[in-house]
Chains A and B, each alone.
Chain A
Amino acid sequence: MSQLTDAFATGKAFIPFIVAGDPDAASTVANAVALAEAGADIIELGIPFSDPVADGPVIQAGDLRAFNGGITVDTVFAIVAAIREKVQTPLVFLTYANVPFKYGYDRFCAQCQALGVAGLVIPDLPYEAQGEIRPFTRKYGLDLITLITLNSQDRLPALAKAAEGFIYVVSTEGITGARDNFDQRLATLFAQIRQYTTVPAALGFGIHTPEQAQTLARFADGIIVGSAIVALAATHGTQAAPVIGAYAKEMIAAIR
Chain B
Amino acid sequence: MTITNETTPGRYLDYGGQYLPELLMPEIQRVAAAYAHYKDDPAFRREFHTLLEEYAGRPSLLYYAKNMTADLGGAQIYLKREDLNHTGAHKINNVIGQALLAKRMGKTRLIAETGAGQHGVATATIAALFGMACEIFMGRLDTERQRLNVYRMELLGAKVHAVTTGSMVLKDAVNAALQDYAARSHDTFYVMGSAVGPHPFPVMVHDFQSVISTESKAQLQTVAGQLPDYVIACVGGGSNAIGSFAAYLEDPTVHLIGCEAAGKGVTTSQTAATMALGSTGIFHGMKSRFLQNADGQIDAVYSISAGLDYPGIGPEHAALMDSGRAQYVPITDDEAVAAFEYIAKQEGIIAAIESCHAVAAVQKLAPTLPKSQIIICTLSGRGDKDVAAIAKYRGIQLSED
B252 contact set on A, CB distance < 8 A: none
Shortest CB–CB separation between residue A110 and chain B, in angstroms? 17
CA distance A98 to B280 in the complex (A): 9
Binds A, one of B63-71, B86-94, B293-301: B293-301
A175 touches B182 (CB 8 A): yes
The DSSP consensus for interface residues of chain B is mixed
A149 contact set on B, CB distance < 8 A: 22-23
Shortest CB–CB separation between residue B192 and chain A, in angstroms? 14
A98 touches B282 (CB 8 A): yes
Interface centre among A53, A127, A149, A170 (most CB of B within 10 A): A53
Which residues from 102 to 129 on chain B have a C-beta closer than 8 Å to any C-beta of chain A? none
Does any Cβ of A come within 8 Å of B25's Cβ? yes
B284 contact set on A, CB distance < 8 A: 51, 53
The contact string, 1 if C-beta is below 8 Å from chain B, for chain A 153-170, is 111000100000000001
Interface centre among A102, A153, A154 (most CB of B within 10 A): A102
Does any Cβ of A come within 8 Å of B310's Cβ? no
Q: Which of A72, A98, A174 contacts B179 (CB 8 A)?
A: A174
Does any Cβ of A come within 8 Å of B283's Cβ? yes
CA distance A50 to B290 in the complex (A): 13
> Given A53-B175, A174-B183, does the pair A102, B19 have CB atoms closer than 8 Å?
no
The DSSP consensus for interface residues of chain A is mixed
Q: Which of B22, B184, B283, B292 contacts A127 (CB 8 A)?
A: B22
Q: Which of B18, B27, B292 contacts A102 (CB 8 A)?
A: B292
A98 touches B292 (CB 8 A): yes
Closest B residue to A74 by beta carbon equals B295
Does any Cβ of A come within 8 Å of B178's Cβ? yes
B279 contact set on A, CB distance < 8 A: 102
B179 touches A175 (CB 8 A): yes
CA distance A72 to B297 in the complex (A): 9
Q: Which of B17, B27, B182 contacts A174 (CB 8 A)?
A: B182
The contact string, 1 if C-beta is below 8 Å from chain A, for chain B 367-399, is 000000000000000000000000000000000
Q: Which residues of B contact A (CB under 8 A)?
A: 17-23, 25-27, 165-166, 171-172, 175, 178-179, 182-185, 279-285, 290, 292, 294-298
Q: Which residues of A contact B (CB under 8 A)?
A: 49-51, 53-54, 57, 60, 67, 72-73, 96-99, 101-103, 123-129, 147-149, 151-155, 159, 170, 173-175
